[in-house]
Structure formats: structure tokens, C-alpha cells
Structure 1
């Protein structure tokens, strides 16, 4: 039988695209965060790049290219190398705290339903962002029936079943943002398993435009938050907040170098109607986030998350 050698020569461009895509996925940490925050942009959409594999295989079939068909699988291999661990099943683990985190959205029309959704998880701690002078009294009235202790700072708030012994403002306002911008608090919660220092933070938004990802304010705010946590002597720290970025985003490195969690699944939270990226997080230092789940939609453009936390 005569071998069609042209099948190995056709589809060179498809093969090149497949190899380049595999390199981007495998070496995403080396993509510089310049030229419109390219590194952050790649990290944001990295989980979705695997969708290019069927298109590459289809293109190889149309071109009848053996070379392109084989190399079309290299992005899949690279993707599994990055995300494969997240897809493995996780055994249930013991935990001390249940933490609910939610950007409730300043235009949320259904405060009562949102609170009902959060309380259904029987949380010990609730962290909220985008609290305004208009909606804060409604959230406080709905949550204070369950939580004896709470503190707010600017547009973020913390409700706790356990006593709050310290509370203070944390300045993460980047240069160039109005002085009224106030989006981070620090509180010490005295739980039966020991004291834990909780940060609630809402980093500046990012926008995708013709010049790439506008994330410089978010990056500067992340730097300030990372410094604050690094300087905190507390042995057990939790960070709950809308960080406006995924954990792979290099712009969040100052934060993720201080607090982290082992990821299982993808936990996309934004936009609520069809989530494509996880912006909402519960991270820890000196403690462990043993489980994190995304909850159903509330009236917000973000979905809430619930985390189970084991204290040291």
C-alpha cells in the first residue's frame, strides 16, 4: 500500500498554531504582564483555551493532514498538565468554619432572597462587597437576626457568629482613585478553634478594551493588600473578597504569595448568567481552605461562594 506522503506535509500552519497554543498554555507563567497586561489576559482565559482543540482537529480533518491532527493534541496535553490536578475528586475533610463570600452588587434588586441564599449554607462568617448607604441597612437588618457580631468599612462588611475583638480599615486605595474609595477591612474573629484574622477586600475592576486588559489600578491595589497581609503577624489569616482576577493572574501575585488555597474544579463566579472566570475567593495563611463551592445566582452579577476552612 502506498503511503500518501503529502498528508504529512499539508496543514503546516495548523500544526504551528497547535504548537504555539500548547506553549502558551504550558508556559503561561512566563507571559509578561506588559503590552496591555498580556499575562493577566492570558491567565483569565487560560481554562477556555482547550476549546481550540476540537477546532484544530476539525481543521486537520478538512486539510487531511496527519501532522496537524497529531499536533492538535499537544494543547490538550499542556492543558491537562496545568489543570488536570483540579479535576481529580476530593475526599471530604474536617473543617472548623464555613465562610460565605459574595459581591452583592450595588444594584441588586432582591436583598432578602440574596441573604436567604447565603444563610442556607449555615455560615459562621459572611463577607460582603458593594455595600452602599442605600442597601447596607437592608443587609444589616436581614443578617443581624442570625449574626450577633458584625463590622463594616466603606463598601465591605463582615458578619460573624463569633466575637470580633479587633476591627480596622486597611488602605488599599491606589493612586489616582478618589479619596472616598474605601474597600478593605481587617477584623480578628475569636472562634472556638482559636483566633483568626479576616480580611475582606474588593479590588478595583478590570476592563477589556482595544489596548488589552485595563488592570493597572487592580494590580497596584493588590500590591498594597499583599503588603498589608505580609506585615500582619497573625498566625492564621483568611482573605475573603472580590479580587477581580483568577488565582493564575500575575497581577494578583502580591496577594497569592501571602494567602492561597488548593484549587479543585474551576469555580467560575462572573458574570453570574454564564460565569467564565473566578473573581471571588476565600484564601488562607496558617489555615486551609479544604473546600470551595459556587452557589446559585442571587440578584448580583457575581455568584457567591462558600468555603470550608480548617484552622491550624
Structure 2
């Protein structure tokens, strides 16, 4: 009698033998193993520690190397440890570790589960794009053409170091302004354009009133100071933090009810140091994006540090654009002004 005949005679199939009996044998083996609760205690401890870090990330102090901000910048990636711990718990045949792994899995899903799906919707009457084009971009003209083809009504650029962008974009955008290394291009009239002081000693932010068909909108463009990871100082963010606080105060005091912030903030929405901004504005990606929308580094995006944020405006969809000659990806959003 063949294996298939034996399986049929027993009320099953050869396929069931392969995919059904073995898991039952595994479960039966665990039932008879009294050590499943004693093994894997270290793994269980690591799982619970991961859950604590995820749940209490805002309590991690910045006093030593700004560890709190560093953790929050890459916080979503801690979720990778969950399946790793799960596999190790199965390998160790530890029921204790398997149950403990549920804790970080639940906390991570509570924090980031809402970002996994596509929340984009139709509608919107204003498309905005922001891009750190990178100083020394090897192909600024090509980058400018790609951005012009994005369909943006309002385009913000950071790290400008050449007039190529002005030359290439002029046919698509009749209105524009450049302040320091920051530029804003618009299909609609701009007025009251001025540099804004974000406390770094030179111009890396501006504010303009864009007169859209739906009414005036205050548009801010900013490039926050870069963060650094240094052996002697850890994750150095003090200058970035001071700039974020200054910019948040300026946005809060703006007289126009509709406000947009575009730019490279060198920080994620989880970073507590941006609270003066994030507490009053909505992230377009977080509200209506598809996935995490990581934008940096362009070759293998690991963090969303390029932001589109709104106040008094309804975001409809948000996405990242294809790679250009920069080390950042452009990010876009469609808004209902």
C-alpha cells in the first residue's frame, strides 16, 4: 500500500501528511515537554525589554548622547526584532518566550499599525512637493525636470547651491523666491515672502503667502540643522532642537488660518524635539499616506525626515516620488485647501 493509500485509508491525504501531521506532532511534542516554561527566560526578558522601550520611548533621557531622540528617529525599525525573537523562541521551544513576544508585537502595532495600510483618498485641489536636492547634486537640471513633471502646484527645495533650478523651473512656475539655500516655486501668485529666523545665524527658512484659487495660504519652507552621531557627543541635536522651537513659535503666531510647512526637518514625527511643531500641525504622510513614506537615505530609505505638515487644511493623499540625484527622496501630498 502506498503512502497516499495509507493516508486515504486513514481519512487524510499525502498532502495532509506533509502539512497537517507534522504540526500536530510538534504540538504533541511540546505538550509532553515540561521544560517549555523554563527554557528561553532570557529571550522572554529581551522581548519584555523591547516592549518597554517601545511603550516608554518618550521617557528615554536625552542627557546621555541624546539617546532618546536617536531611538525615536529609527523607532519603527525596532519592529524587526519581533519576528527575530519569535523565530528564536520557536527554536528554543519556549512557551514563555513565545508569550512574551506578544507584548512588543502589540505595542508596535499600536504605534505603527495604522501606517501599514494605504489611507489615501481622492480629491484635493493643491499638490505640494518638497525635496532636499542636495548641495553638489551631480544632475541639478535633471532633478529640476523630474520635479516639474511631478504635477506640483507648489514646490519647495532645500540645499540649493546653483541657479540651474531657477532656469529650468521658470517655464512651469511663474512665481518663485529664493532665500539663502531655500527656494519656493508656485503656479499661483506669491506675496509677503521673507526669510524667517530659525536661530542658526544664516538663512535656511522662509515664509510666503501663496494665493491659491481657494484662498491665501501661509507656506513655510525650512531646512533644519543637520544632526550628527559623534563618538564623543552621541546624537548631537541641540541646534536642530532650537531651530524647531523657533519655527514652531513662528507658525503658531501666523495670522493666516491655513498653513503649510514643507522641508527637511532632520527629524521624524516620533522625535520629541519637534513637539513645538508636531503638536500644532498634522503630518500629511501620517494622516493619509501609504506606508511609512521613508525619505532618507534615498538609496535605502530608513527614516522620514522630509515632512509636509498642515494646519487648517485637509490632507487627502501623500506619497514619495522616485529617486533623483539627491540623497533624499522627494515627498508629495495632495491637499484640500
Query: How is 1:216-227 mapped onto 2 (pairs within 5 angstroms)?
Result: 216-227=238-249
1:107 aligns with 2:136: yes
Report the alpha carbon displacement of residue 89 of structure 1 after superposing the two structures with TM: 3.1
Aligned match of 2:179: 153
The 3-state SS of whatever aligns with 1:189 is: strand
Aligned match of 2:153: 124
Report the alpha carbon displacement of residue 91 of structure 1 after superposing the two structures with TM: 4.8
Deviation digits for residues 32-68 of structure 1 (CA, Å, limit 9, x no counterpart): 3332222211111111111111221232233221111
- Is residue 128–residue 333 contact of structure 2 (8 Å, CA) maintained in 1? yes
The 3-state SS of whatever aligns with 1:72 is: helix
Aligned match of 1:252: 274
Q: TM-score, normalised by structure 1?
A: 0.93
CA distance in 2, matches of 1:144, 1:91: 31
CA distance in 1, matches of 2:61, 2:126: 38
Aligned match of 1:213: 235
Aligned match of 1:94: 123
1:144 aligns with 2:196: no
Which of 163, 184, 188 is equivalent to 2:205? 184
Query: How large is the Cα RMSD of the aligned pairs?
Result: 1.5
Deviation digits for residues 191-234 of structure 1 (CA, Å, limit 9, x no counterpart): 10100000000000011233431111111110110111111121
CA distance in 1, matches of 2:220, 2:228: 25
CA distance in 2, matches of 1:145, 1:241: 23
1:47 aligns with 2:73: no
Structure 2 unaligned residues grouped into runs of 5+: 1-27
Report the alpha carbon displacement of residue 26 of structure 1 after superposing the two structures with TM: 2.4
Aligned match of 2:214: 193
Which of 262, 266, 269 is equivalent to 2:295? 269
The 3-state SS of whatever aligns with 1:152 is: strand
The 3-state SS of whatever aligns with 2:282 is: coil
Deviation digits for residues 83-136 of structure 1 (CA, Å, limit 9, x no counterpart): 11122332523211101100000110111211121122211101000012xx1x
The 3-state SS of whatever aligns with 1:200 is: strand
- State the 4+ residue runs in structure 1 displaced beyond 6 angstroms: none
- Is residue 258–residue 312 contact of structure 2 (8 Å, CA) maintained in 1? yes
Aligned match of 1:170: 196
Which of 301, 304, 307 is equivalent to 2:327? 301
CA distance in 2, matches of 1:87, 1:59: 25
The 3-state SS of whatever aligns with 1:185 is: strand
Structure with higher helix content: 2
Report the alpha carbon displacement of residue 30 of structure 1 after superposing the two structures with TM: 3.0
- Is residue 114–residue 298 contact of structure 1 (8 Å, CA) maintained in 2? yes
Q: TM-score, normalised by structure 2?
A: 0.86
Deviation digits for residues 274-297 of structure 1 (CA, Å, limit 9, x no counterpart): 000011111011112221111111
1:11 aligns with 2:63: no
What is the number of equivalent residue pairs in this alignment? 303
Structure 1 unaligned residues grouped into runs of 5+: none
Aligned match of 1:233: 255
CA distance in 2, matches of 1:232, 1:193: 18
- Is residue 197–residue 237 contact of structure 1 (8 Å, CA) maintained in 2? yes
The 3-state SS of whatever aligns with 1:61 is: helix
- Is residue 261–residue 288 contact of structure 1 (8 Å, CA) maintained in 2? no
